[in-house]
């Protein structure tokens, strides 16, 4: 019996540790050949001996388990390094089939305290990083499809966040970047569907080095128990979305953590008002909108804070 991703090649960004590592291992377990990307150079261990970069360690772990993997140490937020990443997958495995965008950083601060650099850095790594790799992958898939005269196999799995859905007050840069990634995902899904490519986004909740402060108050697992915030709760969904079984899943947003997957519905129009005249005036808008919002629950916004309460069971 063949594995679901056998014969397919994949890129996972930010895969040296945490969530990306779990995703790379899962794709390899399902049969994919993987390019493990993480921005980091070899260093020194506690004894002063040279140590491998995290991406190289994960690639070696995959190979030791019988899979195929190579490492890429570039910065996906750099346009040319992202190009080199996609080209490495193509030159190594003959083609690219799966792109998992996971790389990211945090620079948490309230909006009134955030510096320009903290804003720019997070937007660059998350949003531009997702765009860069998706751009070069889409060029590859479009060219292959045109040459074949038929759709090809392509999967994009992007990483958004509940911070976007719920409006995390202390993460305006991160929430904005993750919201932008959802827009990028739905646009990509519509643009590449005719070429055989799907694009979906996940909102994972996982305890990793990047989020250790965010989830510091969440209960730790007991002895022998799997942490409800373990990345291993997320990686199977990434494997599914990367597989042929998910051919009809496109342009979707899914929340995943702790043994639970929730499909987020698209926004819906809550109310509509028409002017009684040729165009609205301030006075008319005051009349219809003020009364409408008087009846809405106090503090309710476009943010869907209820997603933070989702759990298994």
Q: Are 202 and 241 in contact (CB under 8 A)?
A: yes
Distance between CA atoms of 91 and 13, rounded to whole angstroms?
17
Tokens representing residue 215 in the block: 């989830």
Angle at 205 between CA 229 and CA 210, to 5 degrees: 90
| 174 is annotated as an active-site residue | yes
Respond yes or no: is residue 178 known to be catalytic: yes
Q: Which two tokens stand for residue 277?
A: 């005249």
Dmax over Cα atoms in the chain, in whole Å? Answer: 79
Q: Give the CB-side neighbour count of residue 29, counting CA atoms within 13 A.
A: 13
Annotated catalytic residue 195: no
Quote the CA–CA distance of 151 and 58 in Å, as a whole number.
Answer: 32
Q: Which of 161, 168, 235, 243 is catalytic?
A: 161
| Cβ contact 48:5 at 8 Å | no
How many C-beta atoms lie closer than 10 Å to residue 113's C-beta?
A: 10
Of 174, 195, 235, 243, catalytic: 174
- Catalytic residue, chosen from 178, 195, 235, 243, is 178
Apex CA 206: angle with CA 205 and CA 208, to 5°? 145
User: Which positions are annotated as active-site residues?
Assistant: 161, 174, 178
């Amino acid at each position: 019996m063949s594995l679901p991703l056998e014969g397919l090649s994949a890129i996972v960004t930010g895969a040296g540790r945490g969530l990306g590592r779990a995703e790379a291992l899962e794709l390899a377990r399902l049969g994919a050949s993987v390019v493990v990307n993480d921005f980091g150079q070899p260093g020194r261990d506690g004894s002063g001996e040279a140590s491998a970069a995290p991406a190289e360690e994960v690639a070696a772990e995959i190979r030791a388990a019988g899979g195929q993997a190579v490492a890429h140490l570039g910065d996906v937020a750099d346009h040319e390094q992202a190009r080199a990443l996609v080209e490495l997958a193509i030159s190594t495995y003959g083609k690219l089939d799966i792109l998992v965008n996971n790389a990211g950083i945090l620079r948490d601060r309230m909006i009134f305290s955030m510096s320009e650099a903290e804003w720019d850095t997070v937007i660059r790594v998350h949003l531009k990083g997702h765009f860069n790799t998706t751009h070069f992958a889409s060029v590859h898939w479009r060219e292959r499809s045109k040459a074949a005269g038929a759709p090809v196999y392509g999967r994009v799995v992007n990483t958004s966040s509940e911070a976007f859905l719920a409006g995390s007050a202390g993460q305006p840069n991160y929430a904005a970047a993750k919201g932008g990634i959802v827009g990028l995902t739905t646009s990509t899904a519509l643009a590449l569907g005719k070429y055989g490519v799907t694009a979906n986004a996940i909102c994972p909740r996982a305890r990793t080095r990047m989020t250790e402060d965010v989830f510091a108050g969440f209960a730790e697992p007991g002895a022998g128990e799997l942490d409800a915030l373990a990345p291993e709760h997320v990686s199977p969904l990434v494997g599914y979305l990367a597989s042929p079984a998910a051919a009809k899943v496109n342009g979707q947003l899914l929340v995943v953590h702790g043994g639970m997957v929730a499909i987020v519905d698209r926004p819906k129009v809550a109310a509509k008002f028409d002017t009684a005249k040729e165009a609205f005036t301030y006075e008319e808008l005051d009349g219809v909108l003020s009364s409408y919002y008087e009846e809405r629950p106090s503090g309710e916004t476009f943010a869907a804070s209820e997603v933070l309460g989702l759990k298994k069971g």
